[in-house]
Chain A
Amino acid sequence: MKRLSRLRRHRAAAPLLLVFALFTIGTTFQVASAVNSEPTTVADRSATVEEGRQIFLKGCSSCHGINAEGGGIAPSLIGVGAASVDFQVGTGRMPMADMSVQAMRKTPLYNPEEVNALAMYVATLAPGPAIPGDEVLNYERDGSVADGGELFRTNCAMCHNFAAQGGALTQGKYAPTLMGVEPKHIYEALITGPQSMPVFSDKTITPAEKLSIIKWIKAAEAEPQLGGVALGRVGPVTEGLLVWTLGIGLLIGVAVWLAMKAR
């Protein structure tokens, strides 16, 4: 007992304890965040975060504020999580080309490493949804196309159309087409609810169901053009356009020809 109290008051005790605590916390964090396998050491990680901060200061802070606190024209990014950044920047929506009603998908301005650095920096500001790793996104193994279709038609088709081709919303906003969107980005959109889209939390749509939706969207993307040219898969409007142009055009052409020959 005496020995313990003497050791406790030893000069080296406090620094050693500090080292031990730091080591424990660091190791725990390392193990806990092993899903994000990118930076392997703490040093790497803080270097990446710093790189992300630099990119943020140059490319994002003019609207989102020096500390990502948001401003008159852009929301605060504190707590939006890495997933949100990865979706917005990874699909080219951010930085916006102009202040229109909605950021549109375009060629990303930053390469994947830069996007990742940005995401990690924003994730350090406050906890938020993380980027789903490849292990989470194994939709081929864990998803079901038929279930995904049913979930898609119930939850998504009212904006994104029955074949995920996109659709109009009010005041010039729109639900974009989901053709050619990476599974990771679809998943991130579901958990972060970008722009007009609602958040589909894991309670509303479980991770397994999300994977089914992704699997169905990928199947819709690969859907062969059964029955001929698909005409955009937007319903009867294009069919009507075709019958009023090519259809009746051909028939009137033939009628003119038939009446002409008799002369």
Chain B
Amino acid sequence: MTARERIAGNVAGYVDDRTGAAKWMKKNLTKVFPDHWSFLLGEICLYSFVILLLSGTFLTFWFDPSQREVIYDGGYQPLSGLKMSAAYASTLHISFEVRGGLLMRQIHHWAALIFMVGIVVHLLRVYFTGAFRKPREFNWIIGVGLLTLGIVEGFLGYSLPDDLLSGTGIRIAEAIIQALPLVGSYIAFFAFGGAFPGEAFIPRIYTVHVLLLPGIFLALITVHLMLVWYQKHTQFPGPGRTEKNVVGYPLMPVYMAKAGGFFFIVFGVTAFLGAVASINPIWLYGPYTPGQISAGSQPDWYMGWLDGLVRMAPPLETHAFGHTISWNILIPGLILPGIMFTGLALYPFIESWATGDKREHHLLDRPRNAPNRTAIGAMALTFTLVGLINGGNDIIATTFHLTINQMMWFSRIGIIVLPPIAFVITKRLCLSLQRADRDLVLHGRETGRLVRMPNGEFTEIHEPISPEKAWLLTSHEQIAPLELAELDEAGVRRPSAIKNKIRNRISRATAVAVPKASETERRELEEHH
């Protein structure tokens, strides 16, 4: 034992005597994680959250969350001498006078966009591979919670500088609050401490943005990761991988190095964007006053689809008993998002209800092997995408020489017609891919080599695929549809007959599949050749 090892051992022993950490560390540092690039998508969110905390803390040193009126006398000449809020003036100060301030602001904003993009791509990976199934339903709900809170947190963040664009966003938020039947006006007055814009809102959302929501985020992210730790990570099917094991590399040293390195790369990409690409140039927007608005006022992309839904809503209002119900705001602003997020959160339960599958799953599905789920995902994505496109309708119209009316009608019709079409096409595609898998297993790989037989016939040589690949293409299980009885033994309709009938029908739709190649089929074909 060298002197250095002895010193290290002494230090470790000293700590272990007082904390008992060695046993826990030994167990957990050797924990195995499976390896796939898509398992790193969640890490993008985690790391950008850390970047958000660091850069955000820097910004709080100079940001003044106050709507107190000041006269600008800073370095940016085009705004010199204008009346503005202290919040806006201090953001200008951060941008132009604080050393590194603009870079930090831009890193903070790009990190926020990457955080939300990361959440969405991570969610898509988890959804399309079926990683949300038992026992991970709670973690799925926490994830949906993080997505929803992320949208709110981002909105509050870009509302804070009190520039013309953010003020416009707050104005729209106020309109959505007011659209709540009966209580809307009261809640709006409560939130703004009086009439819009007032002087209370920015200090309030500042507290929520820097204290309340980050705290909730920290708690939820911790639980999210602890559950991953406790339940172990899912893995893609493959030789040697079962529902009972995890095949991969240990946390120490492989994943420590990989994850640590990935953190710096995420930080690097964010800093790169912050350094080369302007984001939210608030000095161009000008200070907020309710009398002004700019053409092409858009929210950040994660709110864009909601804005797009509001933009395409036809002007429907009901006047009754002295109240106005603005359906044009209420439906796209509150009801539709409510349905979307509730459906998203409940999806694991809906699927297990439809398939009747209550077992644990640690092996992931290939999206093609769950056609119904994949098609529902494609449908929801199409819906959101049409909303997002309409959110930028004016920018798209001027860029591509379209009319804003064409954009609006495309979206109004598309939001209803395109999602079902996406569902059908995706489901067909999945089944075709299953059929291709089946052909590959039974007939082998097409080599492209054509051979002329003695009798003059041309045939293409097929090579059998490797056993590993064949196993991969046939290892998934195909769940039979539910057959819940509608009649009891005596032939009398059960009380739950209608419910069972509906469930059977949904289950049949869910279980549609091309029968995978069985071992006997394969052997028969081999003998035949």
Contacts and interface: CB of A to CB of B under 8 A. Distances in A.
A67 B276 CA distance: 57
Nearest to B44: A251
A162 interface: yes
A143 to B, nearest CB: 12
B165 A235 contact: yes
A256 interface: yes
Interface stretch (A46-54, A111-119, A121-129, A236-244): A236-244
B300 interface: yes
A42 interface: no
Contact of B40 (A150, A163, A242, A255): A255
Contact of B398 (A154, A168, A235, A243): A168
B295 A172 contact: no
Nearest to A229: B277
A256 B164 CA distance: 40
A145 to B, nearest CB: 5
Interface string B21-42: 0000000000000011111110
Contacts of A237: 296, 298, 301, 304, 391-392, 395
A170 interface: yes
Nearest to B404: A168
B121 A240 contact: no
Given A162-B164, A175-B295, A254-B265, A146 B275 contact: no
A238 B278 CA distance: 10
Interface string B380-405: 00000000000111110110011111
Given A158-B294, A168-B398, A231-B277, A247 B114 contact: yes
B299 A236 contact: yes
A234 interface: yes
A151 B157 CA distance: 28
A161 B114 contact: no
Contacts, number: 204
Given A167-B398, A242-B277, A252-B37, A153 B164 contact: yes
Contact of B35 (A160, A169, A259): A259
Interface stretch (A181-189, A197-205, A220-228): A220-228
A81 interface: no
A75 B41 CA distance: 60
A229 B278 contact: yes
Contacts of B298: 235-237
A163 B164 CA distance: 12
Interface in B261-305: 261-262, 265-266, 269, 273-281, 283-286, 291-301, 304
Contacts of A174: 397-398
A19 interface: no
B77 interface: yes
Contacts of B404: 168-172
B254 interface: yes
Nearest to B403: A172
A149 B164 CA distance: 12
Given A145-B78, A251-B269, A167 B102 contact: no
A167 B254 contact: no
B432 interface: no
A164 B22 CA distance: 64
Interface residues of B, number: 71
A250 interface: yes
A170 B403 CA distance: 7
Contact of B278 (A216, A230, A248, A258): A230
B275 A228 contact: yes
Given A167-B394, A170-B405, A219-B78, A162 B279 contact: no
B397 A168 contact: yes
A227 B102 contact: yes
Contacts of A220: 78, 284
B11 interface: no
Interface in B53-103: 77-82, 95, 102
B269 A150 contact: no
Question: Interface residues of A: mostly helix, strand, loop or mixed?
Answer: helix
Given A158-B293, A259-B36, A150 B82 contact: yes
Nearest to A104: B401
A208 interface: no
A262 interface: yes
- Which of B165, B285, B391, B398 has the most chain A CB within a 10 Å cutoff? B398
Interface in A81-114: 101
A63 interface: no
A259 B37 contact: yes
A225 B279 CA distance: 11
B40 A259 contact: yes
B41 A262 contact: no
Contacts of A163: 284
B292 to A, nearest CB: 5
A123 B41 CA distance: 68
A9 B259 CA distance: 113
Nearest to B165: A235
A139 to B, nearest CB: 14
A166 interface: yes
A159 interface: yes
A240 B113 contact: yes
B187 interface: no
Contacts of A12: none
A247 B113 contact: yes
Contacts of B14: none
Contacts of B36: 259
B117 interface: yes
Interface in B376-433: 391-395, 397-398, 401-406
Contact of B249 (A101, A216, A239, A262): A262
A157 to B, nearest CB: 4
Given A149-B78, A228-B277, A259-B39, 5 more contacts: A153-B286, A159-B295, A168-B397, A248-B117, A251-B114
Interface of B: 35-41, 44, 77-82, 95, 102, 106, 110, 113-114, 117-118, 121, 164-165, 249, 254, 258, 261-262, 265-266, 269, 273-281, 283-286, 291-301, 304, 391-395, 397-398, 401-406
The 10 closest A-B pairs by CB, nearest first: A167-B295, A240-B301, A172-B403, A162-B294, A168-B394, A255-B40, A227-B278, A259-B37, A243-B113, A256-B37
12 contacts: A161-B296, A166-B295, A168-B395, A227-B95, A228-B274, A236-B165, A237-B301, A237-B391, A244-B301, A248-B121, A252-B37, A252-B121
